[in-house]
Amino acid sequence: MTATIIDGKARAAALREDVAAEVATLKRDHDVTPGLAVVLVGEDPASKVYVANKAKQTVAAGMVSFEHKLPEETSEAALLELVAHLNADPDVDGILVQMPLPKHIDTDRVVEAIDPAKDVDGLHPMNAGRIVLGRPGLVPCTPRGCVILAKEAIGDLTGKHAVVVGRSILVGKPVSLLLQNENCTVSMAHSRTVDLPSLCRQADILVAAVGRTEMIRGDWVKPGACVIDVGINRIPAPERGEGKTRLVGDVAFEEASKVAGAITPVPGGVGPMTIACLLANTVTAARLRRGLPAVDL
């Protein structure tokens, strides 16, 4: 079997178009232009690229981008002060603090300081609680992207057995809840799971979010399964020239694509969905803050 490659780049572009259309409607009907503030602390090269892309795509969708770049040595108190300022700014509908933060800053404290109504990352305990309860709210971007791509590939997810490998706050935990809300039977696996390969082999939907290069092998995949690879690992690629690197996922793509029914590539799979979902969340936040009903994006 050769798996269908799930085109995250194309799906993300379609979602960004829907977002831009919704932004135009908000402007026309309500004189509202949503604003997204993104805060970067430090010099992490990957984070710098993600933040630049967020700003670029925010503007391309017709929204206002507020970029805050702070030095590595910024104190937690100074960052909390900026968050408080953004919470109070009526032009800011969404706030995202790029992760990872420098080690001297308590990430939980920063996330909890964000106004839940502006928490377009969907990580505030209030929004996490809404997902647990199956209520509408702001949903973390990468997990939402995973569910959109799985539905794109196999349609209704009802009754499917989903195995999520990894239990991070950013991806593993929320994606398992979102899949439950789609009526999946969900198993959450992690470093202490006994016989991980055989659990993975039971998955109709296998979500890999462990951050370990090509850990999920082809013989861990059930024939015909839908494989969603969240990993973004940069490895040396001497075949491309000295000092060159390339991105690979948490799944051994060549092996897995011979067994799976559908699979996301890395790059070009889940990654592009993250920013598209962030833009969609910003529109949702802008509407809800003004008492307008959320639209389906």
Ligand X SMILES: Nc1nc2c(c(=O)[nH]1)N[C@@H](CN(C=O)c1ccc(C(=O)N[C@@H](CCC(=O)O)C(=O)O)cc1)CN2
Rule CB under 6 A: which residues touch ligand X?
49-50, 96-99, 121, 141-142, 170, 232, 247, 266-268, 271-272, 274-275
Q: Is 98 in the active site?
A: yes
Where would I find the H helices in the chain?
8-30, 45-60, 76-88, 107-113, 125-133, 141-154, 172-181, 196-200, 253-256, 270-289
Residue whose CB is nearest to ligand X in the complex, by number: 271
Cα atoms found within 13 Å of the Cα of residue 221, Cβ hemisphere only? 33
Going by DSSP bridges, is the β-strand pair 233-236/245-248 parallel, antiparallel, or unpaired?
antiparallel
6 assigned binding-site residue: no
- The catalytic residue among 7, 121, 229, 250 is 121
Nearest distance from residue 122's CB to ligand X, in Å?
Answer: 9
Nearer to ligand X, 206 or 266 (CB): 266
Torsion of the alpha carbons at 219, 223, 228 and 229, rounded to the nearest 10: 20
166 assigned binding-site residue: yes
Whole-angstrom distance, CA of residue 238 vs CA of residue 230: 24
Nearest distance from residue 194's CB to ligand X, in Å?
Answer: 29
289 assigned binding-site residue: no
Q: Is 54 in the active site?
A: yes
Nearest distance from residue 133's CB to ligand X, in Å?
Answer: 22
Nearer to ligand X, 200 or 275 (CB): 275
Q: Is 121 in the active site?
A: yes
Helix, coil or strand: residue 247: strand
Nearer to ligand X, 32 or 146 (CB): 146
Q: b vs e for 106-135, b when ≥16 Cβ sit within 10 Å of the residue's Cβ?
A: ebeebbbbbbbbbbbbbbbebbbebbeeee
- Assigned token pair, 254: 């060549």
- The catalytic residue among 57, 93, 98, 204 is 98
Nearest distance from residue 185's CB to ligand X, in Å?
Answer: 26
Tell me the sheet residues that pair with 66: 37
- The catalytic residue among 54, 118, 173, 222 is 54
232 assigned binding-site residue: yes
Annotated binding site for NADP(+): 166-168, 232
Catalytic (active-site) positions? 54, 98, 121
